[in-house]
Structure 1
């Protein structure tokens, strides 16, 4: 009987934790939203720049290794 009780307790705990999480969540205000958008934009720019630099290095190295076939 204890096994059945333990199996039923898992979904109850999940639902309880989920409702606590949802009640604590709040929508970001405009200032926080703009800050998040800026951080994401800077992340995109940095990752794009890193990819561009890697590609610029990769092309000549690849031509040296493979040859000008």
Structure 2
């Protein structure tokens, strides 16, 4: 019985933590969505030239 518990206890804890995470999550509103989009745009804008320099140096 102890071997079975050692397998199922981590699964129970993982599922419990997953349920807590899903309950805390929410869909972003319009303002959050715009901010995430701008951050992603500027990160891409910065790292594309850096990537070209690294790949182009070969």
TM-score in terms of structure 2 length:
0.76
Gaps of 5+ in 2: none
Larger-Rg structure:
1
Shift of the alpha carbon at 1:29? Answer: 0.8
SS of the residue aligned with 1:36?
helix
How does 1:21-32 map onto structure 2 within 5 Å?
Answer: 21-32=21-32
The total of aligned residue pairs comes to: 56
Residue 66 of structure 1 is matched in structure 2 by none
Q: Which runs of 4+ in 1 moved over 4 A?
A: none
Using the size of structure 1 for normalisation, the TM-score is 0.67
**How far has the Cα of 1:10 moved from its partner?**
1.6
Gaps of 5+ in 1: 63-69
In structure 1, the residue matched to 2:34 is 34
**Counterparts of 1:49 and 1:5 in 2: how far apart (Å)?**
52
Q: CA deviation at 1:32?
A: 0.7
